[in-house]
Amino acid sequence: MEKWSRFNYQPCLPLGKEGARVTGCREHIELSRKAAGEGMVLLKNEGSLLPFCKGQKLAVFGKAAVDYVKGGGGSGDVTVAYTRNLMEGLRIKEQEGKVEVFWPAAGYYEKEIQAQYAKGYCPGMTLEPEVPEELLGQARAFTDTAVVTICRYSGEGWDRKSIADKAFAGGDQSLARLSASIFENGDFCLTEAEKQMVEKVKKTFPYVAVVLNVGGMIDTSWFKEDKSLSAVLMAWQGGIEGGLAAADILCGDVNPSGKLTDTFAQTLEDYPSSEGFHESLDYVNYEEDVYVGYRYFESFSQAKAKVIYPFGYGLSYTEFEICTKNISVENDQVRVKAEVTNLGLRPGKEVVQVYYSAPQGKLGKPALELGAFQKTRLLAAGETQTMILTFSVSDMASFDDLGKVSKSAYVLEGGSYSFYVGNSAENLEKWREDWVLNGDRIVSQLTSKSAPYKLPKRLTGDGSYEMLPEREQIQEPLGLPKQDMDRLEGMEPADRGYGQMLREEIEKSGKHMLSEVAEGKITLDTFMEQLSDEDLAHLLGGQPNTGVANTYGMGNLREYGIPNVMTADGPAGLRIRPQCRVYTTAWPCATMLACTWNTELVEQVGAAGASEVKENNIGIWLTPAMNIHRSPLCGRNFEYYSEDPLVAGKMGAAMVRGIQSQHVAASVKHFACNNKESNRKDSDSRVSERALREIYLKGFEIVVKESDPWTIMSSYNLVNGHRASESWDLLTGILREEWGFKGIVTTDWWTRGEHYKEAKAGNDIKMGCGYPDRLLMAMERELITREEIAICARRILEMILKLAH
């Protein structure tokens, strides 16, 4: 087969066995359901209400019983052949003789929700219907056990809120108005209609379980201490068959083993990021610094008292014992040996979590930081598994951005380092011996990069705030006439219109083909010598769609045999527009995948998803999304993994390994500090160098060093006064020079950055289209050189060569 035949000819050759298609295949759907079952988190189970006993009669209430949300909106949406809601899952269980369901309630909600769909409401954005008293009475006569369901929807381009009458800062205003009309009390909290539904069910039924079909953190205070709500399952957004996966857990066919990757506090105001989240459309001050998530709540006693469900928490239908056998520190490695025993009667899985506590020293440290984690295999009743977990001593270093020990260095401060082993941030056993470091140790001496200009203060280890120096920002000359970037957004890339040229004719003209480089006949340098300035500038921009793609491609110099390699959205599955009638597999949302704490499973999901990408003649999958859950209000948290950079990094690295095992390029995004959707194209994320490196870049660093992603996507926003897509410090200084990244950097689609500034910074390609004329104009004015443009073009060609399979 000719190199890049999938890109050149769009043959849509099936990749399955015996000519079968893998896209949306049964094997992938089963894997999606398995991953959903392993990522669901059992938050509460008083009196062992769950799993339901065989033959248990159930009445299910709440629109979410049928109004199923498989995932979030925007680029994270997926076109599927069908979805399975909770009632469909329970119907299957009833057919298997495991439960009996009061179907008139389901019929009522089905009728109500379908009527709202007909009016234009989308899943998760519907109104909660009032429960008829007659229906409640009939259901109570049928059973004493009820299930309450709640669902939520959020999407790209707009943020969540707690109270609808608060000013909505930016984002998609039409969605904001629709959301405000639906969520009377906000989507973080229950709506008034949901409160009334829950109260009615509680008063009617002595036994009530709750199922939450949500993509991000929500208020959990309403059920934590409520004795009339005995069980709560965080079912997240489980992809194509998430409703069936929830039924699997409710009926005991799957033992829940998911653990939270975020801290759930009593109120939204308890999160330090909440106060300034919507303070301005123009900027966000990251004043909590490195004290994000459990690092904040576990460090300050007043904050710790407000935790409802800690980081790493999750129940099981069995009981486990974690016994730490030994912890040693040798050769820059912390080595933990632990035994996990299933003490209960059901097979199950447990997650071993290792935390460390560094000395406060001059820099101040969070009380706890996750050092390593590992999930057991499925352990039978009474079975024991020995686990070995390791991490580097240097991982415990802190970045000194002000020079208290050594400026711009990662430092291990002298003192005692403690280790803890358990299954959540609040269920830990301290190891009997500390590791003592005599004197400070410089782990890595770097230089200052991407320092803040206007971050007034930051939180410190004693709970006070440290004032930070303000620097004068040097304004760069524009160099070129300012363009109206808003007018250009959504513009289709220009097709050079070369037509299909025969290879023989091209070779007769003396031109070299890229396939000659792939075959080892010539070097890439030799190939690039023949490219004109116009050719190089053309390569630095997105290209027209082909086939089923809708997010454009790259390459497309057909007279040189350079294919037009398509991209596709993610991360919850291959995203193809509905009109193409290609139905793919919707995977569980990223937060749910992270809650599996199972990197091997996530790698399998990455490989399966990438095979669908490849089968549909697409070469680059725009996933995984790596941004930190800084605030529960970020509308795109469902696409991101965790509040913790180690969890995010390990999950992202697993996903990249899986994707690129199929010779499909992963695109790790959004680099960096895209932790808010409101005015995301112009908002300035103001963050200290320490928090930037230890929290917001750390996950990306782990992915780069552990899985070698072929592409990284820069973010829309500014970071400390500079557009991320134009930041040399981020894209070259840190990403390439410090971490050794070898792939390409692509902009997010239609950034408002100047193309030549992006290229000079190391942002190789501007998507969805570039502006070659402006690049050439900048070159004429000596604002950028051919050599600088060629560096970017070379990296793009190197990436395309990796896809020649």
pLDDT score for 499? 43
Mean pLDDT of 690-703: 98
Angle at 718 between CA 216 and CA 484, to 5 degrees: 110
Burial class (CB in 10 A: 0-12, 13-18, 19+), 530: exposed
Closest CA to 360 of 401, 432, 425, 411: 411
Closest CA to 543 of 802, 796, 805: 796
CATH number at residue 41: 3.40.50.1700
Task: Answer whether residue 171 shows pLDDT above 50.
Answer: no
Q: What is the rounded distance in angstroms from the CA atom of residue 386 to the CA atom of residue 325?
A: 9
Same domain assignment for residues 87 and 222:
yes
Encode pLDDT of 16-52 as tens digits: 999 999 999 999 999 999 999 999 999 999 999 999 9
8 pLDDT band (50/70/90 cuts)?
Answer: confident
Does residue 133 form part of some domain? yes
Task: Answer whether residue 181 shows pLDDT above 80.
Answer: no
Residues β-bridged to residue 557: 562
Same domain assignment for residues 214 and 321:
no
Same domain assignment for residues 115 and 183:
yes
pLDDT score for 477? 60
Q: What is the rounded distance in angstroms from the CA atom of residue 716 to the CA atom of residue 673?
A: 9
Encode pLDDT of 749-780 as tens digits: 999 999 999 999 999 999 999 999 999 999 99
Same domain assignment for residues 189 and 320:
no
The pTM (predicted TM-score) of the whole model is: 0.95
Encode pLDDT of 734-747 as tens digits: 999 999 999 999 99
Angle at 664 between CA 661 and CA 667, to 5 degrees: 110
Helix, strand or coil, per DSSP, at residue 509: coil
Same domain assignment for residues 258 and 340:
no
Q: Which of 413, 448, 467 is the last residue of a domain?
A: 467
Same domain assignment for residues 144 and 50:
yes
Same domain assignment for residues 230 and 332:
no
Same domain assignment for residues 336 and 456:
yes
User: What backbone phi and psi angles, to 5 degrees, belong to 485?
Assistant: -65, -30
Same domain assignment for residues 112 and 214:
yes
Encode pLDDT of 337-381 as tens digits: 999 999 999 999 999 999 999 999 999 999 999 999 999 999 999
Confirm if 347 and 410 have CB atoms less than 8 A apart.
no
CATH number at residue 348: 2.60.40.10
Confirm whether 289 is a catalytic residue: no
Mean pLDDT of 78-104: 98
Burial class (CB in 10 A: 0-12, 13-18, 19+), 430: middle
Task: Look at the chain and report how many structural domains it folds into.
Answer: 2
Q: Which of 684, 729, 748, 764 is catalytic?
A: 748
Q: Which of 213, 241, 269 is the last residue of a domain?
A: 269
Cβ neighbour number for residue 660 with a 10 Å cutoff: 20
Burial class (CB in 10 A: 0-12, 13-18, 19+), 487: exposed
pLDDT score for 70? 96
Encode pLDDT of 548-572 as tens digits: 999 999 999 999 999 999 999 988 9
Does residue 155 form part of some domain? yes
What residues contact residue 109 under an 8 Å CB cut-off, 6+ apart?
61, 62, 63, 65, 66, 67, 129
Q: What is the rounded distance in angstroms from the CA atom of residue 765 to the CA atom of residue 747?
A: 6
Same domain assignment for residues 198 and 68:
yes
Same domain assignment for residues 244 and 380:
no
Q: Which of 245, 269, 293 is the last residue of a domain?
A: 269
Same domain assignment for residues 321 and 463:
yes
CA dihedral (7, 9, 10, 13) in degrees, to 10, reads: -100
Does residue 799 form part of some domain? no
Q: Both tokens of residue 596? A: 């599996």
Confirm if 152 and 187 have CB atoms less than 8 A apart.
yes
Does residue 692 form part of some domain? no
Does residue 659 form part of some domain? no
Mean pLDDT of 102-117: 97
Confirm if 109 and 170 have CB atoms less than 8 A apart.
no
What string of H, E and C letters represents the secondary structure of 739-778?
CCCCCEEECCCCCCCCHHHHHHHCCCEECCCCCHHHHHHH
Q: What is the rounded distance in angstroms from the CA atom of residue 62 to the CA atom of residue 65?
A: 6
- Mean pLDDT of all residues in the chain? 93
Question: What is the domain range of residue 325?
Answer: 316-467
pLDDT score for 506? 53
166 pLDDT band (50/70/90 cuts)?
Answer: very low
Encode pLDDT of 437-478 as tens digits: 999 999 999 999 999 999 999 999 999 999 998 887 766 666
Does residue 8 form part of some domain? no
Helix, strand or coil, per DSSP, at residue 588: coil
Helix, strand or coil, per DSSP, at residue 443: strand
Does residue 107 form part of some domain? yes
pLDDT score for 18? 92
Half-sphere exposure for 397 (CA within 13 Å, toward CB): 23
Cα radius of gyration rounded to whole Å, the chain? 27
Does residue 163 form part of some domain? yes
Encode pLDDT of 465-522 as tens digits: 999 988 877 666 666 776 655 555 667 888 765 444 444 555 556 899 999 999 999 9
